[in-house]
Amino acid sequence: MKLAVVGGGSTYTPELIDGFARLRDTLPVGELVLIDPAAERLELIGGLARRIFARQGHPGRVTTTADLDAGVEGADAVLFQLRVGGQAARLQDETWPLECGCVGQETTGAGGLAKALRTVPVVLDIAERVRRAAPDAWIIDFTNPVGIVTRALLRAGHKAVGLCNVAIGLQRKFAALLDLAPAGIHLDHVGLNHLTWELAVRRGGPDGEDLLPGLLAAHGDAVAGDLRLPRAVLDRLGVVPSYYLRYFYAHDEVVRELGTKPSRAAEVAAMERELLALYGDPALDEKPALLAKRGGAFYSEAAVDLAASLLGDGGPAVQVVNTYNNGTLPFLPDDAVIEVQARVDGSGAVPLAVPRLDPLFSGLISHVSAYEDLALDAALRGGRERVFKALLAHPLVGQYDLAEGLTDRLLAHNKEHLPWA
Amino acid sequence: MKLAVVGGGSTYTPELIDGFARLRDTLPVGELVLIDPAAERLELIGGLARRIFARQGHPGRVTTTADLDAGVEGADAVLFQLRVGGQAARLQDETWPLECGCVGQETTGAGGLAKALRTVPVVLDIAERVRRAAPDAWIIDFTNPVGIVTRALLRAGHKAVGLCNVAIGLQRKFAALLDLAPAGIHLDHVGLNHLTWELAVRRGGPDGEDLLPGLLAAHGDAVAGDLRLPRAVLDRLGVVPSYYLRYFYAHDEVVRELGTKPSRAAEVAAMERELLALYGDPALDEKPALLAKRGGAFYSEAAVDLAASLLGDGGPAVQVVNTYNNGTLPFLPDDAVIEVQARVDGSGAVPLAVPRLDPLFSGLISHVSAYEDLALDAALRGGRERVFKALLAHPLVGQYDLAEGLTDRLLAHNKEHLPWA
Amino acid sequence: MKLAVVGGGSTYTPELIDGFARLRDTLPVGELVLIDPAAERLELIGGLARRIFARQGHPGRVTTTADLDAGVEGADAVLFQLRVGGQAARLQDETWPLECGCVGQETTGAGGLAKALRTVPVVLDIAERVRRAAPDAWIIDFTNPVGIVTRALLRAGHKAVGLCNVAIGLQRKFAALLDLAPAGIHLDHVGLNHLTWELAVRRGGPDGEDLLPGLLAAHGDAVAGDLRLPRAVLDRLGVVPSYYLRYFYAHDEVVRELGTKPSRAAEVAAMERELLALYGDPALDEKPALLAKRGGAFYSEAAVDLAASLLGDGGPAVQVVNTYNNGTLPFLPDDAVIEVQARVDGSGAVPLAVPRLDPLFSGLISHVSAYEDLALDAALRGGRERVFKALLAHPLVGQYDLAEGLTDRLLAHNKEHLPWA
Amino acid sequence: MKLAVVGGGSTYTPELIDGFARLRDTLPVGELVLIDPAAERLELIGGLARRIFARQGHPGRVTTTADLDAGVEGADAVLFQLRVGGQAARLQDETWPLECGCVGQETTGAGGLAKALRTVPVVLDIAERVRRAAPDAWIIDFTNPVGIVTRALLRAGHKAVGLCNVAIGLQRKFAALLDLAPAGIHLDHVGLNHLTWELAVRRGGPDGEDLLPGLLAAHGDAVAGDLRLPRAVLDRLGVVPSYYLRYFYAHDEVVRELGTKPSRAAEVAAMERELLALYGDPALDEKPALLAKRGGAFYSEAAVDLAASLLGDGGPAVQVVNTYNNGTLPFLPDDAVIEVQARVDGSGAVPLAVPRLDPLFSGLISHVSAYEDLALDAALRGGRERVFKALLAHPLVGQYDLAEGLTDRLLAHNKEHLPWA
């Protein structure tokens, strides 16, 4: 089995490698190709990857290359984990929306639109090259904004599934609080990528007993504290919103916080530098503890499970993925991409049925999904008016002059990434 | 033919009377009953109504009564035009949301929810009494918020149609600008009550040529000026939003305006006093010019047309009304109430087909319709948590602490109208 | 010695009575007259006052009257503790400024101006009647806003000193934290009423060792927590701001809090009702514990000390009072009223010298003092333009359209108290 | 007579040259040295300067140099017109404060503090070198923020006067509206640099008839339109505020405008490029019309007049300058720098007496002057805490968390200019 990782030079990659090494029984990888144009960085990561495999006695081979077409040739699955424009662009996404009084975030709101505009064309180009070099390969997309990127991949006819670590992170968190094995917990997880709610926490499987009321009663403070939401939000709604709902439920508070705190620039850049320095140590043969602070926890477990199911080695399994709606949420078009539990096997992912949603959730989902449709249109076709329209359609913008001011800034800060701008 | 007007003591009523008088060929009213508990005021209005009928040679009889059951008995149609809590409550609706930085408006946002909570139980009680006294009567509801009130009436099984004068007002405005007869103009009007867009302005009928591009080119400034929106909004969206969209597209600007201007209290109260003084003049036998400033223009024309169609005297006709969605907008539940063009005859109103809507409109419609569902639930069942939830679901609120602060104020300012609060 | 209390029917009064009873050696009151137009309430308070005196063996006589002129006749000192418009007006002061996005507070900002406008004419009228009935009496003013009211009294030539309990409250707090007797602590307290900073906390007297650095090091969290300011504000400025500085240093946070919390209306009204019920209990002969929650702590101690010094029984003493600047703060006019430590004896209060202030404090003091000058002008002469100008001059308003919107609301909500409005 | 211009390579310089050429009778310049480290740009400007002198028959010599010490040697007056960090730094100053909801402006608020911090050390270093090379030379400072920079120069003992074109611009504007010669109009101009009000517009001289009431009655709309303030502000205050008061009187409106409009970056950069292209044209021998749009109108007239008075050729004259307060405004320290009418001759500038100011003006002046004191302290001594304190002291900031967020951004965006940051 051959796997390729596009964006393999990311400082996240050792997390993925560690998962492949630990879970080699689930997913017997023969060759793992890390692909990245940043040669020096790639070598650092590649070296560490080989040492991790060696230490854990993994028989597979790790190779590195800057040549995308060669790297993906014959692959069974290709993982996409790109960041077009790198940390510099992300920091912009987090900053200029604040000038207009709007949240600055890399996947939500105007910053997320900027990321989508930069990313979609690059991802589609890579996917096309994957299709030529490995026509049967599954694309597993971690590239944010996962919802819009997966929508782009699916509309272009690619074999793609979108993946995010929010659901698995909550599953592990809840399992620990309940003192249960993670595999014994299933989440009724529903919404769009980064706009999801856990409606139930079930024992054993999708039809098991709902443990959520008891979980909230016993551990509500711990759960709410992690999400930085008031405990009362969870108790009153009776569900667990994703961390990203904070940008909606507490938007103005977040804006004020962001405007009166140091930007995360120095912090993140320092951490990346420190990680790369650690990775270069020839004695290091495991993922360093510092990586846990970088985000992305349990992302390798999710990726291994998903790849195993898609490649036929894991048998059908229920996993939280991003895929076409196809009637699952009746208030969305069939070709909207949703994030829900799905049955996954070698033929792809099919969502499990979702009971009628409370209007409190369906209203916001509809609104954001409509924005995503316009965002994708802007990413595919370009043009200032399409950007403006997507922003006006976003529930966190919605106002004419805000959309205008944000459009201007988005274009000014992303000129080098948007040929049409 | 017998018509009854519940809330007949309103200062608006002479507008309605004037329409009945002018349009007596369309709608041959034999008896018109004005019903209102405010006896003194009702006498003033009733006297003027009789003089208007007399002056115009209308053969019908105008009667007045405070007895609802007697008044509606045997009526063919009953018009609802109530204001629970009167101008005092409305002024509250316009004010306290500003304390939380939210728009204060009588039908939109938190103020609109307050009005819905006060109004729905009263309207349902009246409708039930109408059903007993006049089982075959059509209810024509002008009572705001028309969308939620009509939803309540339909769910309770009443023969009801909701009516608003936004569409007819724009039709007359456009006709004047285009120098065409109003009847020669049809609007592709779509959305929810007070959340609508004119997608096309058609010559002759629903299939006629679209005159909107030319209208905007020639008269965009006049249209935009009326709506108090920038001309560019119309040109860029290519549609004409209703005046109420300003509370969304320019929300913060409106809040700032409202907070830095005198409240409308004195102004409206003064106008009402002045109107009542005029109505008391036994020499007055037509609606005074001042009434035009009170809002509600062309509302009598719309009401006469609708009643004529419903009572079988006008033949089937296409009119803009509020009625069940029933699949017209596929992204809304069937039992949502929408405001669109509908074919109306003695059996009621059936929406015309609507082409797939731009996501810019459908996203916001979905969000507000979900709020309306929760608002109706709160109005029917009461309870602080249901009020909170409806507010959190509203796209102009959406934040936890805003919803909490608004809930508290809504309840504090409406205690006397909400027995459960 | 005869003392009179104007506003003696306040629910605060038992605090004062308790102090007179406990401190009878410091201030041997022969007759205490409680004056209030609210007869029923006054009887309740008067009864409790007599029981408190009796229980503590105080030989003085407590009388009550609604007749101001008779009550103050021959008094040695008259205490003013009025609330023109009562709690209802105060609740308005706390509410309508929020509609404009400004803090709603009874002594700070627009709400404080409203209170000044209502209060100054009433206080001046009472003072004039005191002057006639008791020409040598000292007026001790607790009536808020104390700074502006004292300025009005002094400019009209009255024998008046303004008093507030902020300084004594901090002194007692600091003494407890430092485990010292209150009398052993002197505060370098400087600014305007409700706009003060403690620059030093001295052991023994005005020239003693400064204990503030040690106090902040050991108890900074406790002090900051009381003030609801971040600990870092105290550490970085090296001083202790009064609680009221929070309305400046954290203005927007306070506005948001006020707009998203229940108003204090129900809470305060409930407490007043509960207190009055307690007072009516003929078995009660001490101030109830609940009174401590009502604010005003240590106010009786401050009043007794001040009266004792002014009436020549306490000898000269250094106390924090409100009096003419007279060059103490060189950047203010001589006839500004400041709140500082002063030497007080039978001839009145003379401020101690204040070293050159840090511009961080003097800039804000200058700005607010200029506002107070205009506020007093508006209170004395009336007129919409003077109100507008005072608001525009306030550092928490400062913007044209805010000042306009606030002016309109101030006048609308205070019509009954402002004959010229 | 020898004059030197530090920062002579500015695109503004041709405005100055044009003035020197036109007004050569007032100020007979023998040698004019343009000093700038940007050699290429300096040559462009120098060439044009020579052509302008030649065309107008001016006998003086224009030289250019990058060598500051040589350039200023033996000069009679040295004009400072620097921009440390260039347009790039200014654009930062206009942008990052918006992230905190504060006005972004190059001389007012947090952006102005950044400019002061960058500029003061550079100016003081240059002044010291001027003192060595030309001990008797007058320094005329146009470098912004002029108030703080002049304060720094005077405290360091330099022979300096600060100059701004706001007053002369208004004088010319009023003269044109009144159809009078500019010399026949004197302004009662008072405040701090960029925080001034015209209290009177006098015919003939400082004691002449006040034409302001008539001017406002006849031309209030034109004056207000220029300042972008509502006409009513002028009428109600009875004075003409400087354009910069808009950042105070309409702060939130400006922030919203700035956040919803394109930044001025592209516009200004484009204009500079266009100007430099024009200057390079060997046929051009006058200042191009485009320069008028660049700001700085009448600045050469003001500079020529001031230099003529200081160098003894113009006789004593009354001019608006920035100089020590020395008791002119009694509420400010003597060593504050104010901007008022002053009598200027070879010994320097002495302010004319100013009548007692309305508290509406003196309160704000005091507050901003206190900020300037702290800003200068931060510029001279550096350190994060001094920056924070200056920001907290500014009336447009004033809040703890805003000051913190702004401090962080100011330092992050100015690291290369602030060695201590």
Q: Which of D244, D299, D324, D371 is catalytic?
A: D244
For residue C393, give how far its alpha carbon lies from the nearest alpha carbon of chain B (Å).
16
In CATH, the architecture of A2-164 is 3-Layer(aba) Sandwich (3.40)
**Interval A179-230: pLDDT, tens:** 999 999 999 999 999 999 999 999 998 899 999 999 999 999 999 999 999 9
User: Which residues in chain C have their CB less than 8 angstroms from residue D113's CB?
Assistant: none
User: Which residues in chain C have their CB less than 8 angstroms from residue A254's CB?
Assistant: none
| pLDDT of amino acid A245 | 97
Q: How confident is the model at residue B266 (pLDDT cuts 50, 70, 90)?
A: low
Q: How confident is the model at residue D260 (pLDDT cuts 50, 70, 90)?
A: confident
Q: How confident is the model at residue A58 (pLDDT cuts 50, 70, 90)?
A: very high
Find the mean pLDDT for residues B23-49.
94
Q: How confident is the model at residue A313 (pLDDT cuts 50, 70, 90)?
A: low
- The secondary structure of chain B, three-state, reads CEEEEECCCCCCHHHHHHHHHHCCCCCCCCEEEEECCCHHHHHHHHHHHHHHHHHCCCCCEEEEECCHHHHHCCCCEEEECCCCCHHHHHHHHHHHHHHCCCCCCCCCHHHHHHHHHHHHHHHHHHHHHHHHHCCCCEEEECCCCHHHHHHHHHHCCCCEEECCCHHHHHHHHHHHHHCCCHHHEEEEEEEECCEEEEEEEEECCCCCCECHHHHHHHHHHHHHHHHCCCHHHHHHHCCEECHHHHHHHCHHHHHHHHHHCCCCHHHHHHHHHHHHHHHCCCCCCCCCHHHHHHCCCCHHHHHHHHHHHHCCCCCCEEEEEEEECCCCCCCCCCCCEEEEEEEEECCEEEECCCCCCCHHHHHHHHHHHHHHHHHHHHHHHCCHHHHHHHHHHCCCCCCHHHHHHHHHHHHHHCHHHCCCC
Q: Could you tell me what percent of chain C has a pLDDT over 90? A: 89
User: Which residues in chain D have their CB less than 8 angstroms from residue B253's CB?
Assistant: 256
| pLDDT of amino acid A314 | 63
- Structure-model confidence comparison of residues D267 and B156, the more confident one: B156
The answer to whether the CB atoms of C332 and D331 lie below 8 A apart is: yes
| pLDDT of amino acid A316 | 75
For residue D404, give how far its alpha carbon lies from the nearest alpha carbon of chain C (Å).
11
The answer to whether the CB atoms of B332 and A332 lie below 8 A apart is: no
What positions of A carry a catalytic annotation? 244
Q: What is the pTM of this model?
A: 0.91
Assign a CATH topology to domain C2-164+269-310: Rossmann fold (3.40.50)
Q: Provide the 10 A C-beta neighbour count for residue C182.
A: 14
Mean pLDDT score of chain D: 94
- AA identity, residue D176: A
| pLDDT of amino acid C266 | 61
Q: Which other chains touch chain D, taking contact as 3+ CB pairs less than 8 Å apart? A: A, B, C
Find the mean pLDDT for residues B326-349.
96
Tokens, residue A404: 């205008």
The answer to whether the CB atoms of D368 and C368 lie below 8 A apart is: no
- For A331, the closest of B249, B331, B371 (CB atoms) is B331
| pLDDT of amino acid D268 | 74
| pLDDT of amino acid C261 | 81
**Interval D333-353: pLDDT, tens:** 999 999 999 999 999 999 999
- For A250, the closest of B333, B363, B399 (CB atoms) is B399
- For B370, the closest of A229, A230, A363 (CB atoms) is A363
CATH code for the structural domain at D2-164+265-291? 3.40.50.720
User: Which residues in chain D have their CB less than 8 angstroms from residue C388's CB?
Assistant: 236
Please determine, for residue B314, whether its predicted confidence score (pLDDT) is greater than 70: no
What region does C382 belong to: left with phi over 0, alpha with psi -120 to 50, or beta? left
Please determine, for residue D294, whether its predicted confidence score (pLDDT) is greater than 80: no
User: Which residues in chain B have their CB less than 8 angstroms from residue C421's CB?
Assistant: none
Residues from B contacting C (CB-CB < 8 Å) are: 95, 98-101, 104, 256, 258-263, 265-266, 401-402, 404-405, 408-409, 412
| pLDDT of amino acid D315 | 67
Q: Which other chains touch chain B, taking contact as 3+ CB pairs less than 8 Å apart? A: A, C, D
Please determine, for residue A275, whether its predicted confidence score (pLDDT) is greater than 80: yes
| pLDDT of amino acid B407 | 96
User: Which residues in chain A have their CB less than 8 angstroms from residue D95's CB?
Assistant: 99
**Interval C291-309: pLDDT, tens:** 877 767 788 999 999 999 9
**Interval C241-288: pLDDT, tens:** 999 999 999 999 999 999 988 766 567 777 888 999 999 999 999 999
Find the mean pLDDT for residues A301-321.
88
**Interval D71-99: pLDDT, tens:** 999 999 999 999 999 888 998 999 999 99
**Interval C312-342: pLDDT, tens:** 766 679 999 999 999 999 999 999 999 999 9
Please determine, for residue B138, whether its predicted confidence score (pLDDT) is greater than 70: yes
- For D100, the closest of A104, A259, A266 (CB atoms) is A259
- For B99, the closest of C259, C401, C402 (CB atoms) is C259
Q: Could you tell me what percent of chain A has a pLDDT over 70? A: 98
**Interval B379-401: pLDDT, tens:** 999 999 999 999 999 999 999 99
In CATH, the architecture of B1-421 is Alpha-Beta Complex (3.90)
What number of C-beta contacts closer than 8 Å exist between A and D?
57
| pLDDT of amino acid D313 | 64
Residues from C contacting D (CB-CB < 8 Å) are: 229-230, 233, 236-237, 248-253, 331-333, 359-360, 362-364, 366-371, 373-374, 385, 388-389, 392-393, 395, 398-402
| For chain C, domain boundaries | 2-164+269-310
The answer to whether the CB atoms of C370 and D369 lie below 8 A apart is: no
Find the Cα–Cα–Cα–Cα dihedral C156, C161, C166, C172, rounded to 10°: 180
Exposure letters B360-392 (e unless 16+ CB within 10 A, then b)? bbbbbbbbbbbbbbbbbbbbeebeeebbbbbbb
What positions of B carry a catalytic annotation? 244
| pLDDT of amino acid C291 | 86
Question: C356: which DSSP letter?
Answer: P
Selected for mutation to probe chain A from B100, B195, B257, B331 (highest A CB count within 10 Å) is: B331
For residue B212, give how far its alpha carbon lies from the nearest alpha carbon of chain D (Å).
29
The answer to whether the CB atoms of D252 and B252 lie below 8 A apart is: no
- For D260, the closest of A98, A266, A405 (CB atoms) is A405
Mean pLDDT score of chain C: 94
Lowest mean pLDDT segment, chosen from A85-89, C104-108, C159-163, D114-118? A85-89
Exposure letters B320-335 (e unless 16+ CB within 10 A, then b)? bbbbbbeebbebbbee
ipTM of the prediction? 0.95
The answer to whether the CB atoms of B248 and A398 lie below 8 A apart is: yes
**Going by C-beta distance under 8 Å and a sequence separation of 6 or more, which residues neighbour residue B76?**
B1, B2, B3, B134, B136, B137, B138, B311
